[in-house]
Amino acid sequence: MNKYMEDTKGGLLHTYNQFPVVLDRGEGVYLYDTEGKPYLDFAAGYAVCSLGYGNKEVNDAIKNQIDKLMHTSNLYYNTVCGEAALKVCKASGMDRVFFTNSGGEANEGALKAARKYAYKKGTGRYEFIAMRESFHGRSFGAVSVTGHDSYREPFEPLVPGVQFAEFNDLDSVKALVTDKTCAIILEPLQGEGGINLATPEFMQGIRDICDKEGILMICDEVQCGVGRTGAMFCWQKLGVKPDIMCMAKAIGSGFPVGAFAMTEAVAEYSLEPGDHGTTYGGNPMACAAVSATLEIMERDNIPQHAAEIGEYLAAKLDQMAASNPAVLGRKGTGLMQGITIDTEICGASGAVANKALEKGLLVIGAGADVIRFVPPLVIEKEHVDEMVEILNACL
CB of 299 to ligand PLP, least distance (A): 26
Active site residues: 135, 220, 249
Q: Does 245 bind ligand PLP (CB under 6 A)?
A: no
3-state DSSP of the chain = CCHHHHHHHHHCCCCCCCCCCCEEEEEECEEEECCCCEEEECCHHHHCCCCCECCHHHHHHHHHHHHHCCCCCCCCCCCCHHHHHHHHHHHHCCCEEEEECCHHHHHHHHHHHHHHHHHHHCCCCCEEEEECCCCCCCCHHHHHCCCCHHHHHHHCCCCCCEEEECCCCHHHHHCCCCCCEEEEEECCEECCCCCEECCHHHHHHHHHHHHHHCCEEEEECCCCCCCCCCCCCHHHHHCCCCCEEEECHHHHECECCEEEEECHHHHCCCCCCCCCCCCCCCCHHHHHHHHHHHHHHHHCCHHHHHHHHHHHHHHHHHHHHHHCCCEEEEEEECCEEEEEECHHHHCCHHHHHHHHHHCCEECEECCCCEEEECCCCCCCHHHHHHHHHHHHHHC
**Residue with the closest Cβ to ligand PLP?**
103
CB of 137 to ligand PLP, least distance (A): 4
Q: Does 147 bind ligand PLP (CB under 6 A)?
A: no
CB of 229 to ligand PLP, least distance (A): 13
Segment interacting with ligand PLP, rule: CB under 6 A, options 53-61, 135-143, 306-314, 330-338: 135-143
CB of 212 to ligand PLP, least distance (A): 27
Which position among 42, 135, 202, 260 is part of the footprint of ligand PLP (CB under 6 A)? Answer: 135
Q: Does 188 bind ligand PLP (CB under 6 A)?
A: no
Q: Does 248 bind ligand PLP (CB under 6 A)?
A: yes
Which position among 162, 220, 234, 255 is part of the footprint of ligand PLP (CB under 6 A)? Answer: 220
Q: Does 372 bind ligand PLP (CB under 6 A)?
A: no
Positions in 59-118 near ligand PLP (CB under 6 A) = 102-104, 107
Q: Does 375 bind ligand PLP (CB under 6 A)?
A: no
Q: Does 222 bind ligand PLP (CB under 6 A)?
A: yes
Q: In terms of CB distance, is 278 or 392 closer to ligand PLP?
A: 278
Q: In terms of CB distance, is 26 or 225 closer to ligand PLP?
A: 225
Binding site for ligand PLP (CB under 6 A): 102-104, 107, 135-137, 187, 191, 220, 222-223, 248, 258
